[in-house]
Amino acid sequence: MHIARFASAAVASIVIGSTALMAGATGQSPATVPGAGELKAALAAARALINDGKPREAIVALRALDASAPEVRHLLGVAYYHADDHRAAIDLLAGLRDGLPAGSVEQRETVQVLGLCYYLTGRFAEAVPLLEETRNWAADNLELGYILGMAYIQSRQPDAARASLARTFQVEPESAAAHLVAAQMMIRLEMEPFAEAELKRALEKDPRIPRAHYLLGQMALFRGRLDEAISLSERELSINPGDAMALFQLGDAHLRASRIDEAIAALQKSLWLNPFYSGPYILLGRAYIKKGQPSTAEGMLRRGIQYDPNNRSAHYQLAQLLQQMGRTEEAKREFEIAERLQSSGK
């Protein structure tokens, strides 16, 4: 699932920071069974393993204890979360909260971790109320605000998403800036219809807000609406003429529309502003191939590869160009590199 791949990197460290913050924010001590000194010591040792980045060792230790004890089940679920076994964590933590002391560190952590596990397994509707509950005691936690905003997007609640993300990014929820931030997150999650609506609302409130025209142009380009992409990119540049990415996008749209000279002009300006980004070099390579200038095209493609050695498309285009130029051995090497990069998924 797309969101699970995206979210794993984003959420991996959240519970570490948030549970540490949670423990520091409450004056309560961990729940224990009276007279269960050995259990308390075993749980403390397992927690230390989790904190040291050794959740699988903690799982082995906890599985040797009485799994019917709520404290053991709770910490075992937390350990499975940190071991990236989110479904096992859900199986342990679902329904556990009522077996833990109300308002305790363990109960709060159970709610938080269960919400994150639901999120990471794509169960967004179930994640939202748990993340909302966590926000009640961790209202200023940035990571939580971000993840909750993303969960709202995935559960088709754009207004709630915007409000959560606005708080995280410290802008007013009904401001143009809040609509812009929400749109950017929606684009990342491939929720373009929602993003388009947010961007249009941002422009209604501030017609000169930076990036809104650019992002609308990006979506138009993706959909093959080239004239619209060109117009929107040009509007972005009227607001910020030094935007290298808007110039790159404008060049890309012109190139796809076979307006070669216009594409070259925009891409060259993009490079003057940011000479270290490979994209304009690669597109300039294509443009000069179309203009029948193979030497210039080769130079551009090689420069693009210099900045992005793992760009399969650049190697493949260079191989084709070298083949056309009769340099078969060099072409063969570039084809091999392109094939290797494709096989490795780069």
- Residue 31, CA distances (Å) to 43, 67, 92 in order: 11, 15, 18
Per-residue confidence band for 11, with pLDDT thresholds at 50, 70 and 90: low
pLDDT(147) > 50? yes
Q: Could you tell me what percentage of the chain is helix, strand and coil, using 3-state DSSP and rounding each to the nearest 5?
A: 75, 0, 25
Give mean pLDDT, residues 245-274.
98
Mean pLDDT of the chain: 90
Give mean pLDDT, residues 325-330.
96
Give mean pLDDT, residues 153-167.
96
Domain boundaries along the sequence of the chain: 1-29+36-155, 276-346
pLDDT(90) > 80? yes
- Residue 143, CA distances (Å) to 21, 115, 191 in order: 12, 13, 21
Share of the chain above pLDDT 90, in %: 81
- Residue 64, CA distances (Å) to 46, 87, 157, 226 in order: 11, 20, 43, 63
Report d(CA 336, CA 339) in Å as an integer: 5
Lowest-confidence pick of 26-30, 172-176, 208-212, 251-255: 26-30
Which 3 state secondary structure label does DSSP give 237? helix
- Residue 74, CA distances (Å) to 30, 37, 70, 78 in order: 11, 18, 6, 6
Q: Could you tell me the two tokens for 309? A: 């050695």
pLDDT(12) > 80? no
pLDDT(149) > 80? yes
CATH 1.25.40.10 corresponds to the domain 1-29+36-155: yes
Higher pLDDT, 227 or 102: 227
Instruction: Transcribe 138-190 into DSSP letters.
Output: -TT-HHHHHHHHHHHHHTT-HHHHHHHHHHHTTS-TTSHHHHHHHHHHHHHTT
pTM for the full predicted model:
0.81
Query: Do residues 3 and 122 lie in contact, with contact meaning Cβ atoms separated by under 8 Å?
Result: yes
Nearby residues of 92 by Cβ (< 8 Å), 6 or more positions away:
73, 74, 76, 77, 80
Question: Which pLDDT does position 206 carry in this prediction?
Answer: 98
Question: Which pLDDT does position 290 carry in this prediction?
Answer: 96
Separation of first and last alpha carbons in the chain: 19
Say which CATH topology domain 276-346 has. 1.25.40
Question: Which pLDDT does position 7 carry in this prediction?
Answer: 45
Domains 1-29+36-155 and 276-346 share a fold: yes
Query: Do residues 86 and 121 lie in contact, with contact meaning Cβ atoms separated by under 8 Å?
Result: yes
Which 3 state secondary structure label does DSSP give 10? helix
pLDDT(26) > 70? no
What are the φ/ψ torsions at residue 274 (nearest 5 degrees)?
-140, 90
pLDDT(13) > 80? no
Question: Which pLDDT does position 98 carry in this prediction?
Answer: 84
Per-residue confidence band for 38, with pLDDT thresholds at 50, 70 and 90: confident
Q: Could you tell me the two tokens for 83? A: 């071991």
Mean pLDDT highest for which of 33-37, 135-139, 215-219? 215-219
Higher pLDDT, 99 or 21: 99
pLDDT(307) > 50? yes
Question: Which pLDDT does position 95 carry in this prediction?
Answer: 87
Q: Could you tell me the two tokens for 297? A: 């095209």
pLDDT(6) > 80? no
Give the type of residue at 71. Answer: E
Give mean pLDDT, residues 236-245.
97
